[in-house]
A and B are shown apart, each in its own frame.
Chain A
């Protein structure tokens, strides 16, 4: 009986300490300004991984928590003068690369600039 309780307590503790993480909240579709001009199609991609070495240790984040934010910033940077994006598309790809799993986010959209 005591052994069962110990096992349950150990499981609860293990579940309670599962490592995890959250990215920053990134605005990908802000309200468009009243007047704007479309500058062209923008696209940005950013990747991050969870690894290293053995599946038992696949909880070490490598740039994975900032991938959405970096993809959005790269999309904006791909069109000079762009202030924000409209008609956005977001897609995530992933691949396994032996010592980790990589996830890549691609954000594309029409780059716009506010005009008077």
Chain B
């Protein structure tokens, strides 16, 4: 009887281990049309979530997607590449705050659609001037 009780305790403990998947973010970093590589600008965006009591995600699972969408909004239709990602966390007594920061360089698209092989060569050392979100 004692063994049975322990078995059920173990099963309950394992089944109570909760988990979740974040929203996958797809980043097509190959230009689909000609890009003006001489006019790159640095853009930054971020998103936060809170893990309440370590088990209850509040906007945690979507923060990568939200950060990327915010980055696209900052780009305002420009092609973005050289995307950097940085993660932050803070302990907040009743949970943990998670934050994702994305940085990128946005290049204006040119009107004429051309194959990738015809685009000018991208810069080797894009501008890394600072900024914060």
Contact = CB atoms under 8 A, between A and B. Distances in A.
Interface of A: 18-35, 50, 55, 58-59, 61, 64-65, 67-68, 86-98, 101
B87 A65 contact: yes
A67 to B, nearest CB: 8
B19 to A, nearest CB: 3
Given A50-B96, A55-B53, A96-B17, A32 B29 contact: yes
B83 A28 contact: yes
Interface string B111-122: 000001101111
B116 to A, nearest CB: 8
Contacts of B119: 34
Contacts of B74: none
A94 to B, nearest CB: 6
B22 A92 contact: yes
A91 B63 CA distance: 10
B55 A96 contact: yes
Interface string B50-76: 010111010011001000000000000
Interface string B98-129: 00010111000000000011011111001000
